[in-house]
Chain A
Amino acid sequence: MKRRPSRLAIAAVVLVPAFCTIALLAFGYRGPEAGAARSAVDWVDAAVRLGTRNVVSAIYLNVRLFDTLLEVLVFSVAVLGVHFYLTARGEAEKVESIPESGVVRVAADVLMPLILLVGAYVTVYGHLSPGGGFSGGVIAATGLLLTALAIGTRAVTDRVGHRFLDRLEWVALLGILVVAVLPALLGRSPLVELLPPGTPGRLGSSGSTLLYNALIGIKVFAGSWIIVRHFVDHRGEI
């Protein structure tokens, strides 16, 4: 039964490509204009002063730390929203655990520590090479996810502790705010690094960027796991 397309559909099919064509022709990017090219010079100074080698993390963890703090808060609120809306209705579904085949279990046994290690590495070395808290936390969450696929989220929460990761997320958020605010209480100007920058290129350099990376990593890891656990508990195991 072919329905007549609605007016909105007709309008969309006509207007959206027209809009895109106009945008491409009028504002289409033809490559960077010579001379107006913005390079990284401004930010490189900040990175050198801070002692990190990753200029990007020097930006979002030091120069523009406010944005990162508030975005981390948005992440927490989203996780809280998922938690609230999926648990306010009670344990509606019976969670069936599907035992996975041997290959998945063995692969999960072997791969999970590796993935967690890679996630931790990417997090901790975030100020020296690409990565940082956000990437590393997500990678570590993928590792835990793999184990959950193999043995079920019930088993994972039994081993880790039922509320441990929930509380860990909030503790990490609190830690981030404390690390951001503490320098002000200690007499230095706010949002300046808590720890002094050491020699650049080593792990202990770059001030509190390391702390921020680690705390954000823990936070993203715990938050992603909470989201996934709620989805799985609400719908049944994979």
Chain B
Amino acid sequence: MIARVALLILLPITAGIALVQRRRLYAIIGMGVFSLLLAAVFFLAHAPDVAITEAAIGAALVTFVYVLAIRKTGRLTVAASEVPALLERTGEQVGGLEWEILQRTATAMGLDLVVRFLPHEEVITAVLRGEADIAAGGIVSLEDEDRLLQTPEHLPTVRFRVTGGAAAPWAEAWPTTLQPPRGYLSDLIDAVREGRAIAASLDLARFLALSRYDLNAYHVEKDEEPLSYTFAVSPSRPDIHRNLVSVLTQLRSSGELERMIGRHLP
């Protein structure tokens, strides 16, 4: 008696909770729970045939088929190198200016945003190979512009050259970034400090992140060449490119872009 009443009260509650979920997966799981509760109600209402059938179908097959159906409709893969304030990991979450832009694009397209953090040199190759749809994370200049679709810039930047204090500052054309170590940015600075690398060429966001460190021992020069951050989209997905461009123009025209920049890069 108690079980019957409790289950009957739980049914609309479970259904209501399941149908107001934001994420589709949670709604599907909620409806699976609802089916099981319904099967229990059928059992207590002396209908064992119906209970068996409802449990087998509602819990197993319907949930499975739904999960299969929504599976591919949500996947926007971003290959990125971790850049503070643009695309960084904060604990379990991912945040940053570029992440917000990408997230808006993903929601506009109805996809799930998945960010894979790769070392800097593998980002472009990952997109070219087809493992990811978008390259992000402070992409500034691309040698192979014809192979990838680029989006209009969302943040102007300049390059800073940080040279080791012990070595003589280089005067000619900037040194290439020698084998940037993976992962954390301070490795780069340590490399310069230890003399393994003569100089490091950094862009704005990385440089701002560097300001946490004491840079008085280094010689910093600012390059005058104006550059900008862009995203690079794989050429097989022009729809992503279209959506990203439209999101960016919309953000820029409504002034939202400046606000976001102000939030992340003070």
Chain A positions within 8 Å of B, measured between CB atoms, are 54, 56-57, 93, 122, 130-132, 134-135, 138-139, 141-142, 145, 224, 227-228, 231-232, 235-236, 238
A142-B56 in contact (CB<8A): yes
Do B56 and A232 have beta carbons less than 8 Å apart? no
In the bound complex, do residue A238 and residue B67 qualify as a contact, i.e. CB atoms below 8 Å apart? yes
List the 3 closest pairs (A to B, CB-CB), nearest first: A130-B48, A138-B56, A231-B68
Minimum distance in angstroms from A154 CB to a CB of chain B? 15
Which A residue sits closest to B68, measured CB to CB? Answer: A231
On whether A130 and B56 interact (CB within 8 A), knowing A228-B65, A235-B68, A236-B71, the answer reads no
In the complex with contacts A138-B56, A139-B56, A224-B61, A56-B69 CB distance below 8 A: no
- Complex Cα distance, B67 from A122, in Å, reads 27
Measured between alpha carbons, how far is A224 from B56 in the docked complex, in Å?
12
For residue B53, CB closer than 8 A to chain A, the reply is yes
User: Which secondary structure characterizes the binding site on chain A?
Assistant: helix
When the two chains form their complex, are residues A122 and B65 in contact, meaning their CB atoms are under 8 A apart?
Answer: no
* B49-89 contacts to A (CB < 8 Å): 49, 51-53, 56-57, 60-61, 64-65, 67-69, 71-72
Q: Which residues of A sit under 8 angstroms from B51, Cβ to Cβ?
A: 130
Whether A138 contacts B48 by the Cβ 8 Å rule is no
Instruction: Report whether over half of chain B's contact residues are helix, strand or loop; otherwise say mixed.
Output: helix
Cα–Cα, bound, A122→B48 (Å): 12
Q: Which residues of B contact A224 (CB under 8 A)?
A: 61
Q: Is the CB of A231 within 8 A of B69?
A: yes
**Cβ-defined contact, A228 with B64, below 8 A:** yes
Contacts of B57 in A (CB 8 A): 138
Given A138-B56, A139-B56: A56 touches B61 (CB 8 Å cut-off): no
Closest CB of chain A to B129's CB: distance in Å?
A: 14
Give A238 to B72 CA distance when docked, in angstroms.
10
Considering residues B56, B65, B71, which has the most beta carbons from chain A within 10 angstroms of its beta carbon? B56
- Which residue in A130, A132, A236 is a CB contact (below 8 Å) of B72? A236
* Residue from A131, A139, A238 within 8 A of B68 (CB atoms): A238
Give the docked Cα–Cα distance between A141 and B65 (Å).
13
| Complex partner residue of B52 from A93, A135, A231, CB under 8 angstroms | A135
How distant is the Cα of A238 from the Cα of B56 in the complex, in angstroms? 20
Contact A130 B52 (CB under 8 A): yes
Contact B71–A138 (Cβ < 8 Å): no
B1: min CB distance to chain A, Å: 13
The 29 listed contacts between A and B (C-beta, < 8 Å) are A54-B49, A56-B49, A57-B49, A130-B51, A130-B52, A132-B49, A135-B49, A135-B56, A138-B53, A138-B56, A138-B57, A138-B61, A139-B52, A139-B56, A142-B56, A142-B61, A145-B60, A145-B61, A224-B61, A227-B65, A228-B65, A228-B68, A231-B65, A232-B68, A235-B69, A235-B72, A236-B72, A238-B67, A238-B71
Q: Report B184 CB to chain A, min CB distance, Å.
A: 31
A142 touching B72, Cβ below 8 Å: no
A204, chain B: closest CB distance, angstroms = 21
CB distance from B217 to the nearest CB of A (A): 48
CA A132 to CA B52, docked complex, whole Å: 10
Partner of B61, one of A54, A132, A141, A236: A141
Residues in B whose Cβ lies below 8 Å from that of A145: 60-61, 64
